[in-house]
Amino acid sequence: MQYPVDIVCYQCTIVLPVLDTPVAHTAWWRFMDEHAYHPVEILWEHSEARERIDIDYIEVDSDISSDPSLAEYAGDEWTGRPLALHPRPVARAVAEVVLRAQEAMDAHEWRAAPADAAVAVGIVQSMDFAPPPGETVDAAAVLARSAAVEAARERLHQAAAEPVGGDFGALLKELLLALPSPADLPVDELIAESGPLASPRLWDAERALRLIQHLVDGITLR
């Protein structure tokens, strides 16, 4: 029986399936060329490290439309490559916060309060962050995406001031500390950094908010 095997680069947050096909062999050599000096690990079916692969990771040949196919990754058709492989320090900092919260929930150590679910619903309704890395942008698009990031951050601020439980309140405060402030993302600089792809700093913030969106969506069901 053949078991699924993947290789992950933790620096670039990308996962490649290890398959025995010609295009997969080409993808493997491309991966080794791009990530040979990065922290990488082979993931077997039951590797504990799989638990750290969150939705911020690019998963080659997944069913997510914004992720590249094996052929796109192996060749030069993946237009989002420069942005997708760019470091995302904000998203990774948020990912650590999200992981600790998820572990507390899984261990039944999370103490929910009556108001948590309703507040979480309000947060999720203000977030929809899944822009593909290959999406081309102009100044107007950067302006709109920057405004969406700030609106989501403001909604988190508002939620932190509401009568939520102690665990949810602490989580919101920790997430806000991890996210960039408006001063960290001046629109004129984001526009200057963009073209044809979005600014790496903008996309990093969007990916961080996507992680938050995914976690808070789970809180709506608790």
Band (127; pLDDT cuts 50, 70, 90): confident
Check residue 222 and give its pLDDT.
64
For residue 112, pLDDT over 60 is answered with yes
pLDDT in tens, 164-220: 999 999 999 999 999 999 999 999 999 999 999 999 999 999 999 999 999 999 887
pTM: 0.92
Band (1; pLDDT cuts 50, 70, 90): very low
Q: If you average pLDDT over every residue of the chain, what do you get?
A: 93
Cis bond upstream, residue 4 (ω within 30): no
**Token code pair at residue 140:** 């107007």
Mean pLDDT, residues 21-25 taken together? 94
Check residue 3 and give its pLDDT.
54
For the chain, the structural domain boundaries read 6-78, 87-219
Largest pairwise CA distance in the chain: 57
Q: 143, 144, 148, 132: which is closest to 209 by C-alpha?
A: 148
101-118 CB burial, b ≥16 within 10 A, e <16:
bbeebeeeebeeeeebee
For residue 83, pLDDT over 50 is answered with yes
